[in-house]
Structure 1
Amino acid sequence: MTFSSIGTSIKKARPNDKGWRQLLRDRKESNVGETPHDVKRALLNIVHISDTHICDAQSPARVECLDRFADPHHPLSASIGKLVGTYRAQEMLTTQVLESMIQAINQLDFAPITKQRIDTVLITGDLTDNAQQNELNWCNTLLRGGKLRPDSGTSRQWQGVGDFFYSEYFWNPSGTPKGERTDFPRELYGYPIIPELLDAVRATFFATGLTKPYLVVHGNHDALLQGTIVPDEHLRTVVTSHEKIFELADFEAIDALQKVSEIGPAEYPSPNSPKTREVNADLGRDFLTFDSWNRTFYNEEEDNGITFDLLGSARKYWRKDFEHITILGLDTVNPFGGWQGSLDREQFTWLKTQIEELRTRYVVISSHHPLQDLYNNYTTDISSRVLSVEIERFLVSRSNVIAWICGHTHRHRMAYFGPDEMHGFWQIENASLIDWPQQGRVIEIFQDQHEQVWIANTTLNHCGEVLTDIEHLRLDEVNQLAGLSRVLSVNDWQRRGGVFSIENNEGELFDRNGIVVLPKRI
């Protein structure tokens, strides 16, 4: 097994005078918390990854120009007071990162503590970044294996920000064109020049494909434009058009930011005089339809929760029974807009019915949003949305619910919800594959001789190279590009200290590698 795998650690080197940090290999992190003395029975072994954000970074629907208002050097960043999230320097490398993580998962023959096989890979939402069909197709090819060219528009040239649209607000890896000023990422924050990178990220490679069964959960970026805005016919025209906005006047950009909210509704910018440039249109960029998700992931040869009766349906929640445990996969996306989540009444009724039927079995809940982020109550329907308080009240009244596995926050975190040790569950939030630290985890659920239930977590790094010298980067190797993405992510200039510090994503050691125990409940 290579270095970049189970339990190993990657640390940050000291920053240079512009704050740029290289990454270094470090010793293996230990598990912390309770100490199991024996393993009588392995109940379920899961590899958990989340928020892959497979991204068509050349899409005309993307509004990267809004992101500059969160730059620390921007005069309005303090008044904006939040991350915008419409642009990342590493967003054109998402397919290479997922491929590299799949390689790491495939190397896992057994879970580290129980020494038993992995039962499933669980991917908790935001598989795509912009809810586009081509993004979902790329993701599906990566999971299944096959030839992949992560490109759109035209193969002749890159047509996204960072080159085709030169702006000092974005990282331009090819350098500064004659007559332009050096971009802020290179001038102020130490970002490198990597000629030909934007050709390399679009090059064809052969995806390995997962060798283990996998389950997928629906996320807000899998349904909404940039995870927030409901696609309509106008936006379908925008995303498949030959024109892309690359700059807005400040007052129009600020107005657009004020119309985007964690709770719906949310509106796409409608500026009067944007700066645009012609690009090659691509119908493959169209937004996903109500049944695209189920059609993509249905597999008649393997029970992955998406059954035949869900084809042609908008329902994206499911049940998967294993030998000892059942996973209930929820769809926490609010289809009316906003990036935070909630449930519809029909789904909540289904959830309660399932848990009652399963009262003699242990149950694991899985969703994209964590429980505390289920407060998006916006709806245009006559029926109200179900929020976290009501959901938690029901779940902690049932002793068979032991864990909730989720993503969305892009951070590692473990927390217990419940009034006592007999009623409640451990919520396990995982970091993303687009932001630092780009990790998954192995979750092992097992019993000891007293039938206590143990939940053990061990972080998993992807196989991207730990690059110590970017000048010698090999652009034709997927794992080199994945390693580049990781070092770009740790150097995000908007997250160098303060309330949005990139270190928040790491969590504490317990959040990454914690082991907890629950008493026998059933």
Structure 2
Amino acid sequence: MPRIRSVAASLDRRSFLAAAGAVSASTGIGLALGLSGGEANAARPAAATRLHSRKAPAAPLAPYKNGTTLGTVATPRGHGGYRRLGDGPAWPRVVRPEIAAPKGGRDERRTALAAFVQFTDLHIVDVQHPLRYEYLRAQTASAWRPQETLSVAGAVALVERVNALRGAPATGAPLSFVMTTGDNTDNNSRAELDWFLRTMSGGSITPNTGDPRRYEGVQNSGLKQFWHPEDRDLRDSDKQAGFPAVDGFLDAAIRQVRSPGLDLPWYSTVGNHDSLPGGCYASGDSWFHDFAVGGKKLMSLPDAQGAAFWKAVKKGLDPKGKEFRELMRSEAKRLRSITPDASRAPFTPTEYVQAHLDPSYAGPGPVGHGYTQANLAAGTQYYAFRISDDVVGVSLDTTDPAGHYEGSLGTAQFDWLKRTLKAAEEDGRYVVVFSHHTSASMRNLRPDPQRPREARHGGDEVVALLKRHRGVLAWINGHSHRNKITPRGSFWEITTASHIDFPQLARVVELVDNHDGTFSVFTTLIESAAGHRTDFADLSQPGLAALYRELAFNAPGRKPDLGGENDDRNTELVLQKG
């Protein structure tokens, strides 16, 4: 690659930290690359468009740890049963040399190319939605989580954490933007999309659908397989495991929440839960719409039927939802009545892009949060944007419209990616790729119903393509709800845990030139701004956000390894300069 133009002049360490607040104002300025007819005829921008970005904060005196997992991490107290959380020991930073050997003295000469934050798998969820799978709780812990009633309060606390960061923890450089890598919503619901966009850009959110006066869901259903926080007489399965009674919980959970919105520009990548009803069904007619907005909801199912149904979902045997429809028909007598609500309707890919372009959700920008009118015209949900003078971001749409929760790329998008990588290489720019799915979860090659003759391309093909371009620094994704960082020969695949399952993390990423023939990619995990300690009597917005985390830790059946190992968390990932 040609010699780079860093966003900070080549300075010694002390001078760089003093000047970090003066990093190029172009950092984080969105510059969507032209799209036409689903292809990128303009794989590079025709002209720079300056979009709104926050003023760089005052430079910190030095790299810092406060507010990150380098300082402290929520840790359980005691043993057995329901465990309370408190401040725990920090996670260290680990240097990863698998791709390139780190060289001495790099701390004193490095300069930052860019710094940003990744959110992923927020799963802003309408817990009263008719398409939910709560009745499969015995088969999978992801079907229903005791904390998810508080997903909006938890996500707002994450926004508050980012707003409070002084800059990038490893270098002190200003943060440029936030990228959320999909599954922003849970049920492909218009209400959830509104809540997500207001969480990110600011506004008031009432996380309730159906009856505006009360909650109508599994947590006051009388069914013992779900935690009933306000029913002290019902010994449900969670209370038997030590879960508390919390008077006023459900009223507090559907009360209005206020989000300050991010004070950084933010971008959006689409996930399978954003595109498909249930996160896995290809909706070909009006049935899913009609059921979603209707007044019936299944809350329980015998274990044998649940096991058979979950097997079909897990293996992708029902991509069009035929078995789901049959289940609702055969269990008609078990369906419970709820208040119908048109806001629960599924949204289409076009409506997803239109919502991002809506000025009422603009926040600090950029307009469309990566998406453009060209995306609307072409019917696409992928784009490229300028991260800094030297780095291009590429946001992919890895959802397969044919159904199933695993993903892939269609040929039109795959060819666009080839051209975009080539253009960046010719311009001497480096590339960071964003997607929802990991390479390992891109195995779904079902043809797109709208393009039945178009081939699909899996994760192995994408990895091979990225490896052919030495300018690719990282592929950043989510989907697995797990922290995992994997060397891919010439770049790093960085997978970040969700914000619905414990440990509920986001990740700060810093791209750095070491001026010794290597780059470093620093990753630092952050929790939300909610306190580690909870008070069951505190049902304020911050109190609910803290409870959101503690309930997630105690959720029966949760996977304890989602936080990853130390080398998947706070890291310095070394790369050979191309």
TM-score by length of structure 2 reads 0.81
Correspondence for 1:79:
none
**Is residue 2:117 matched to residue 1:47?**
yes
Aligned match of 2:129 in 45, 59, 81? 59
In structure 2, the CA distance between the partners of 1:273 and 1:147, relative to structure 1 (3 Å rule), is: closer
Give the aligned partner of residue 531 of structure 2: 465
Distance between the aligned counterparts of 2:109 and 2:228, measured in 1? Answer: 52
Aligned residue identity for 2:366: E
Deviation of the 1:26 alpha carbon: 2.2
Identify the residue that residue 13 of structure 2 maps to in structure 1.
none
Larger mean Cα displacement after TM superposition, 271-280 or 236-245:
271-280
Task: Give the CA deviation at 1:262.
Answer: 4.7
Query: What are the within-5 Å matches in structure 2 for residues 51-450 of structure 1?
Result: 51-68=121-138, 70=139, 83=140, 85-163=142-220, 165-177=221-233, 182-187=235-240, 189-231=241-283, 232-263=285-316, 265-266=318-319, 267=321, 268-271=324-327, 272-274=330-332, 275-298=334-357, 302=366, 304-322=369-387, 323-359=389-425, 360-379=428-447, 380=449, 381-418=452-489, 424-450=490-516
Q: 1:89 to 1:3 in 2, by over 3 A?
A: farther
For residues 426 and 515 of structure 1, what CA distance do their matches in structure 2 show? 11
**Correspondence for 2:84 among 22, 41, 45:** 22
Task: Indicate the residue corresponding to 2:546 in structure 1.
Answer: 483
The one-letter amino acid paired with 2:235 is T
Cα distance, 1:283–1:518 mapped onto 2, change above 3 Å = same
CA contact under 8 A between 2:507 and 2:523: conserved in structure 1?
yes
Indicate if the aligned counterparts of 1:86 and 1:226 stay in contact, CA closer than 8 A: no
Q: Does the C-alpha gap of structure 1 residues 190 and 116 become closer, same or farther in structure 2, counting only changes over 3 Å?
A: same
Any conservation in 2 of the 1:228–1:337 contact (CA below 8 Å)? yes
How much does 1:246 deviate?
A: 1.7
Report SS of the residue matched to 1:505: coil
**Contact 1:111/1:442 (8 A) holds in 2:** yes
1:311 alignment partner AA: L
Looking at structure 2, the residues matched to 316 and 227 of structure 1 have their Cα atoms a distance apart, in angstroms, of 17
Secondary structure at the aligned position of 2:521 is classed as: strand
Give the drift of 1:52: 0.3
Identity %: 28
C-alpha separation between the residues in 2 aligned to 1:490 and 1:108?
25
Deviations 1:220-258 (A, max 9, x none): 110112211223411111110011112234443333223
Query: Structure 2: how far apart are the matches of 1:456 and 1:17?
Result: 36
Residues 39, 446 of structure 1: 8 Å contact kept: no
Counterpart-to-counterpart distance in 1, 2:275 and 2:392:
26
Corresponding residue SS for 2:193: helix
Q: Which sections of structure 1, spanning at least 5 residues, go unmatched?
A: 71-82, 419-423, 496-500
CA RMSD across the alignment: 2.0
**1:172 partner amino acid:** H
Q: Secondary structure at the match of 1:37?
A: helix
- For this pair of structures, how many residues does the alignment match? 488
TM-score, L = length of structure 1: 0.89
Is 1:474 paired with 2:538?
A: yes
**Distance in 1 of aligned mates of 2:179 and 2:399:** 17
Distance in structure 2 (CA, Å) of the matches to 1:384 and 1:265: 21
Match of 1:519 in 2: 576
The range that moved more, 243-252 or 479-488, is 243-252
